[in-house]
Amino acid sequence: MKRRTQKITGFLLAVQAAALLLTGCGAGDNTSASPPLSANSGTVGSASPETPAPPDKTVPLNITGAGEIQEELYAAILDLRQPASMDLSGAAVGDTPELEIKNLYYEILNQHPELKYAYDLTAEVENGLLTCQISYMPYQTGYPQDWDGIPVASLPELIAAAEAHLGPEPVKIRLTDTALTPDGMNRALQQVGGGYILCSLSRDGTQLTYSPSMGMTMKECLALLEQAKELAAEAAGALTDGTMTEREQAGALYRYLTEHVKYDRRYYSDRTSMPYHSQTAIGALRDQVAICGGYSHALDLLFEQAGIPCYTVTGTSGGENHMWNIARLDGQWLWFDATADRGISPQFELRHFAREELDAQYSWDPMQLDQLLDAPRT
């Protein structure tokens, strides 16, 4: 179990604003005893390198303002412990202190999303004494001895486990890397399901859950995904062989999409009449009509057949929502946008194949690839 041993010495300006949630806190003579903020402070808890002494839970902390409550909650989450009890008799509190304290907890998670392993908090105030209970994901605090979840040590392993168990039932997992974050894991799980099945991490981080999209049944979604994989295998078998280099295989598969798949113009002219399949590999590989999602999901499947690690990337291009790919070719992660290269004749050079850099018109959140590219896709 990885312990956080940081001592909190500062607070957010936002904490002072949060104090307004507690009626009267931080006003008049009831000023918070929290240390002053530095000029550039903007997040909860500027930590010192010293290891804090654990609070004596038998002696409640005397609280005069919301900042002190949030400081103790933040310190507890970092240390993976339960907060000390807090005496609110010297603080002005509103009619719903439990709700107001939970708002302070949510502010911590909003400012520090990496701490979302502390996935729930309950608060109770009785006779002026505040008691809080934080629920932690067990990959941070330890699993029960009899927990038999699938071991997962990285985001690529998480994706592989999710893809291998697509179906109606949740799948138990055992996360073994405490550096993984809940947001990072849920972003990685967007790579699963091919646009037909949504996969996410359970609230307590112990399971992968699945749900079909677009009102379809799970059976229908699984059948479409299987059909897309078969079509990708058929195309890759016809277009590539063992004598080709990795780049030659990638080029042949990429060219197949750009030359044979037409863009579904209904996306602009009559979006309501455009079938959902156009956003998936089925549209590209079966119907040969797709928009960017279909091109990207199809390229992912085609590259998978050639053993080329590949992910989809969502963002914007030219100000419009867009999806493209990043793949590891010859040991280097490179960009691919088959949608942008569609219709280019074989005698012309592909402009968006295996690019080291993207044009300025592309915009995306790099966090969606955080930790994904650090390890090879399994």
All structural domains of the chain: 7-136 (no CATH), 150-212 (no CATH), 218-369 (3.10.620)
Rg of the chain taking only CA atoms, in angstroms = 26
Residue 96 CA to its chain's centroid (Å):
32
Q: CA-CA distance, 63 to 47, in Å (whole number)?
A: 20
pTM summary value: 0.81
Q: Which of 98, 94, 89 is nearest to 128 (CA)?
A: 89
Q: CA-CA distance, 282 to 275, in Å (whole number)?
A: 11
Q: CA-CA distance, 44 to 111, in Å (whole number)?
A: 7
Dihedral angle sign, alpha carbons of residues 27, 87, 70, 119: negative
Q: CA-CA distance, 304 to 231, in Å (whole number)?
A: 12
SS3 call for 199 = strand
In the sheet with 197-201, reading across from the earlier edge strand, the strands are: 150-152, 171-175, 207-212, 197-201
pLDDT, one tens digit for every residue, the chain (378 residues): 444 333 333 333 333 333 333 333 333 333 333 333 233 334 444 333 344 455 555 689 999 999 999 999 999 999 999 999 999 988 877 788 899 999 999 999 999 999 999 999 999 999 999 999 999 999 999 999 999 999 999 999 999 999 999 999 999 999 999 999 999 999 999 999 999 999 999 999 999 999 999 999 999 999 999 999 999 999 999 999 999 999 999 999 999 999 999 999 999 999 999 999 999 999 999 999 999 999 999 999 999 999 999 999 999 999 999 999 999 999 999 999 999 999 998 888 999 999 999 999 999 998 888 888 875 554
Tally the C-alpha atoms within 13 A of residue 345's C-alpha that lie toward its C-beta: 2
Q: What are phi and psi of 364, to 5 degrees?
A: -160, 165
Q: Which of 65, 57, 107, 101 is nearest to 82 (CA)?
A: 57
Q: CA-CA distance, 62 to 54, in Å (whole number)?
A: 16
